[in-house]
Structure 1
């Protein structure tokens, strides 16, 4: 599973890529270069001032005791925590690569937008580096340059990048802050020092989400019309289902934190859904009993899928997941008051 680097730390082989693993993206840089931010110019400049201040510049400094946190984790809990670190590191590194490339490609033609993407790439690089250094405490690390070179890139049109990354950043904020607040009240469940950094960490995620919400407000067509509403519902469904499936596979990890994985997921969904309702004209009806029921059917089929390898044996479980995903997507949404840019 790993390749030797030196006598203490080894490169960990990347996990097999599936629909649930983080991906690397590329996009239409020419279209991005022509985005107009005039509708939100004042708010955008205020956000840039926050980015320039860089509130978290000194907030990701490891204490002397930090490396010792790895020694306290053993067995399956150790493996699950490493898996959590790897998924998070790859996700952050993916954001860094995308944001930095966008900034480089559009800098000469849209310097204001490029500046925002460059700040976000700075934050994501800081997060990925911190996570990879934490993995090194377990005598493992990810070969990030090789990952950048060898990873398959998925092309997304800019509007899909906006939908997906807005949701990813906002749901990341609510995931981190929910865990942080819980562990504030139950410090005995803080199984590793990493979680003490989550409050500052999630503020970066929140600013990134605000950045993409401003872009969408500046392009009213991105949130207007039935086609846009269908895409919004598609990405909400995709992000929620993916998170629920991933968290259900890590139930023991969340139990060690004193959390019920399903209760935690639903709380994050509610907060993300409410936040998305400030930008988008539709959100999912996650309070419908059918929503949770269909998620659970996806979990059951995903568990069965992991136990079989033959494509024909996997097909019924894949179809069940696809069917329930479709039912969530097609369920009547909840309408918000958002209609145009504000």
Structure 2
């Protein structure tokens, strides 16, 4: 049975309403074409699915996400920009994990009688995502910022994605999540003096869940020839890589205060996560981005600078229509940089498969 997320109480305060304001970086809630999902033929990756299903049933992390006595203290020592950046990190992470839980749970329910293997796989992934969301929500409680997940379920807007888009984007979300967690974990192993909150000790097992989920979606992707054997799939692969990487760059540079407390340079962290995720995606996608192109990170970081300028405009006291006018050229500049990155020649990942790297 899917583990239910504990239903926390929520004081719907002004600060909470503002924290969940919709913008381009806010995690979305998704729905999809369940009829098409039910018809997916998994036979091309049957052995991989059976092996991963056995691993998911084993549930290696079932006893991992339990808070210990190290959480039982005041966290008022974390103040100012760093505190707000960390709360923002927890909130967006919680919403993202809970979004995955809802999508996987619904896929499991709708596919139960049509595609039982895939239904069980989504059922078990929903279990993991629920644990993550619940654990993050309890962490927010330590900072006076718990979230009513039941309220979010009923009141947030759901975005429709075709199942093909879901496969691309969830694969990338899980793999980039793996690299974010493991890089932070390894850094704090070397610099334990910067581990200001016990949550980070859980990141090693956490990223194992992310990695397993990513491998499941890799098998899903490779079971569908149209997702990796066509010219359209090459365009879609690079498009979704670019959207995920751009979102990551903008988000990381909005939270520099958080990374500074960890002793991590936000820009270098962003580069490493993107490079590692792009390299990993080359094992699943037919085409990936050229992250070593001299303009790749330069243009992404220009987008980040422009996004920070727009945030400054949003915080001003000017009328909304003035803010929109001031932000328009900045938004067009961001689009221009992203189009230039997308039009840069990609890397043929299929040609690299089977080579020693």
Q: Which range, TM-score by smaller chain?
A: over 0.9
In the alignment, the residues of structure 2 paired with residue 265 and residue 76 of structure 1 have an alpha-carbon distance, to the nearest angstrom, of 20
1:88-112 CA-to-partner distances (Å, cap 9, x unmatched) read 0000000000000000001001000
Identify the residue that residue 250 of structure 1 maps to in structure 2.
255
Q: Does 1:49 align with 2:50?
A: no
Alignment partner for residue 220 of structure 2, among 215, 219, 244? 215
Corresponding residue of 1:60? 65
Cα pair 1:174 1:271 within 8 Å, conserved: yes
Deviation at residue 338 of structure 1 after TM alignment: 5.8
Q: Deviations over 1:267-306 (max 9, x none)?
A: 1111111111111121100111100110121012112212
Specify which of 92, 98, 106 is matched with residue 97 of structure 2: 92
2:301 is aligned with 1:288:
no
**Aligned residue in 1 for 2:4:** none
Q: Cα gap change, 1:95/1:324 in structure 2, threshold over 3 Å: closer, same or farther?
A: same
Task: Say if 1:271 and 1:93 are closer, same or farther in 2 by CA, change over 3 A.
Answer: same
Trace 1:181-220 onto structure 2 (pairs within 5 A).
181-220=186-225
Secondary structure of the corresponding residue to residue 252 of structure 2? helix
Q: Structure 1, residues 53-103: CA drift from partner, whole Å, max 9, x if none?
A: 000000011111214263331222211111110000000000000000000
Pair 1:102 & 2:103 matched:
no
The answer to whether 1:331 aligns with 2:344 is yes
Distance in 1 separating the partners of 2:72 and 2:300: 37
Q: Secondary structure at the match of 2:312?
A: coil
Per-residue deviation, residues 243-268 of structure 1 (Å, max 9, x unmatched): 00010111121111111111011111
Distance in 1 (alpha carbons) for counterparts of 2:137 and 2:195: 20
Select which of 276, 279, 297 maps to 1:274: 279
Q: Is the 8 A contact 2:296 2:341 kept in 1?
A: yes
1:312 corresponds to 2:317: no
- Whether the 8 Å contact between 1:278 and 1:338 is mirrored in structure 2 is no
Moved more, 87-96 or 293-302: 293-302
In the alignment, structure 1 residue 151 sits paired with structure 2 residue 156: yes
| Structure 1 residue runs without a partner (length 5+) | none
Q: 2:129 aligns with which of 113, 124, 133?
A: 124
DSSP 3-state at the match of 2:263: coil
TM-score, normalising length: structure 1: 0.95
* Corresponding residue SS for 2:73: helix
CA RMSD of aligned residues (A): 1.5
Q: What SS does structure 2 have at the residue aligned with 1:60?
A: coil
User: Quick check: 2:125–2:213 contact (8 Å CA) kept in 1?
Assistant: yes
Cα gap change, 1:84 to 1:69, in 2 (>3 Å): farther
What SS is found at the alignment partner of 1:194? helix
Q: Which residue does the alignment assign to 2:79?
A: 74
Mean Cα displacement is larger for which, 91-100 or 329-338? 329-338
Return the TM-score normalized by structure 2. Answer: 0.91
How many residues are paired up? Answer: 334
